[in-house]
Structures are given as structure tokens and as C-alpha cells.
Amino acid sequence: MDLPPKNEGLGKDLLKTDQGIKCLTAQEAARIAGENPNYVHVDLLHAIERKEFPSWTMKVQIMPFAEIEQAALNPANFVPGIGPSPDKMLLRRLFSHGDAHRYRLGVNHTQLQVNRSKAAEANNYEPNSFNDPGQTNDAQDAPVELHGATGSFRECR
């Protein structure tokens, strides 16, 4: 594994079980918790006795120091089809974060490797099996009730 110089950087680790994830229903969990509150410990001990040893895979992502300094996380980057909520604080951040990144990193900050899109175009929503509406490039602002309806303003000619 190549580490950044002087081991500077941000590390993120992920620990994932190799056994898979098996869930109980709410009814099963309530029944088992009432019968034996130490069920998970007993189950682990029985698995070890059967020589079914638990194991995990650990993955580590290391972000070099330069990438941390150049990262420009912006709440205005939406997945196509998703828009902002009418939350006033979020709406302020949609402008201010991007503006701060342009000032700090320059106007081409989205072209830096750490900020560049990983996929050219994603089409995660269509076709779907529910006959939902398809993707459109038209504005789809929903009205928000304040002291009357508000929404998109379209200039009439």
C-alpha cells in the first residue's frame, strides 16, 4: 500500500463481516430477547465450538493531504431529478459553499481530480417497473404554501 509522504492524510476504515448479514423480524427479536437476552453471545460461542469462526474484511481508504486541501464538497451538487428543499439555511449554503470553493481553489475547482465526476452520466431512475414519470429537463418546482402559493416564475410574453 502506498502511503502519502510523511503519512499525512485522512484515513477512513470500513469493517465488513464475511458471514453476511442475517436479520430477525421484529416479532422474532422480541421473542428471543424475552427468552434469552444473551442470545447473540451464546450464538457466537456455539459457532466457535462448531469451528465456524467469525471473520471480517477491513478496508482502508487513505486520502492524501493534497486531496483533502482541494476537496470542494458542495450541497448544490444534486443527483438529476432531485432539487433543494425550501429550508432557508440549505438555500444559503447552496450559494455560499460554491462561492467559497471558487474563491479558495479557483473557478476550475470542479476539474480537480478529487472533485471531478466519477461517471459521465448516470441513469439510475429509468426505465423502472412502476411506470413512474420519466426524466425531463423541465423545472419541476413544487409550490410551497406560505401566505399564498409560491413556485417557479415564468415570464409571460
- 38: containing domain: 5-65
Total-model pTM: 0.39
Q: What does the pLDDT read at residue 58?
A: 92
| 130 located within any domain | no
Q: Compute the mean pLDDT over every residue in the chain, rounded to the nearest whole number.
A: 79
Least Cα distance to 71 among 7, 8, 10 occurs for 10
* Same domain for 61 and 21: yes
Q: How many domains does the chain fold into?
A: 2
Q: What does the pLDDT read at residue 73?
A: 81
* Same domain for 36 and 18: yes
Give Dmax over CA atoms of the chain in angstroms.
80
For 91-112, how does the pLDDT look when each residue is reduced to its tens digit (9 = 90+)?
888 888 888 888 888 888 888 8
